[in-house]
């Protein structure tokens, strides 16, 4: 069971995140003291990134969702590790998967992929192996070219006398 009104949404510019979240956390009437989630969303080429924070407060019956806009050409946003230390792993994951740089985070390195990896796998323009058939290198391996496969069975060859 769920109710429709269980999330309140706020949209801000990326560089305002620390100021807003500080108020949300420290104002006694708001007191959103728990950072439930921090995630990045990519809206595709020519659009923008979003860093989405979900906050919890015992004074309000709803989750608070803060959506911070980040430019796709210059994906930088201030870190919130000064407010919640635990945001560090969230930010490392967002950097690893989306390539968003968190200014001021002193441990911003890849967390899942190896340190010499160079791509950002959760961006919308990342090519999955399944999509590689559409790439310029498609068909380099003859085993991957079905039109060259000989599928006649030995029994069939015996029957028409070609073996």
Q: Which two tokens stand for residue 20?
A: 């807003």
- Give the footprint of other proteins on residues 49-78 (CB under 8 A): 52, 54, 56, 58, 61, 63, 65
Beta partners for residue 54, in sequence order: 37, 65
Which ranges of the chain does DSSP label H, i.e. alpha helix?
Answer: 17-26, 87-98, 154-159
Q: How far apart are CA 90 and CA 51, in angstroms?
A: 10
Closest approach of Cβ 155 to other proteins, in Å?
38
Query: Binders of other proteins among 95-154, rule CB under 8 A?
Result: 97, 106-116, 121-122, 128, 130
CB of 76 to other proteins, least distance (A): 16
Dihedral, 115, 117, 121, 122 alpha carbons, nearest 10:
30
Binding site for other proteins (CB under 8 A): 1-2, 4, 6-7, 33-37, 39, 41-42, 52, 54, 56, 58, 61, 63, 65, 84-90, 97, 106-116, 121-122, 128, 130
């Amino acid at each position: 069971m769920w109710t429709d009104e269980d999330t309140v949404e706020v949209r801000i510019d990326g560089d305002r995140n620390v100021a807003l979240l500080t108020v949300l956390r420290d104002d006694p009437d708001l007191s959103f003291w728990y950072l439930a989630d921090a995630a990045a969303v990519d809206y595709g080429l020519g659009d923008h990134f979003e860093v989405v924070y979900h906050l919890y407060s015992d004074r309000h019956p709803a989750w608070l969702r803060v959506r911070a806009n980040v430019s796709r050409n210059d994906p930088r946003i201030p870190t919130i590790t000064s407010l919640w230390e635990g945001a560090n792993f969230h930010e490392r994951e967002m950097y690893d998967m989306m390539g968003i740089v968190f200014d001021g985070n002193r441990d911003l390195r890849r967390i899942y992929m190896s340190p010499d990896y160079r791509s950002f796998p959760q961006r919308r323009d990342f090519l999955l192996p399944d999509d590689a058939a559409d790439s310029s290198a498609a068909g380099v391996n003859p085993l991957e070219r079905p039109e060259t496969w000989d599928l006649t069975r030995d029994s069939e060859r015996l029957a028409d006398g070609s073996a």
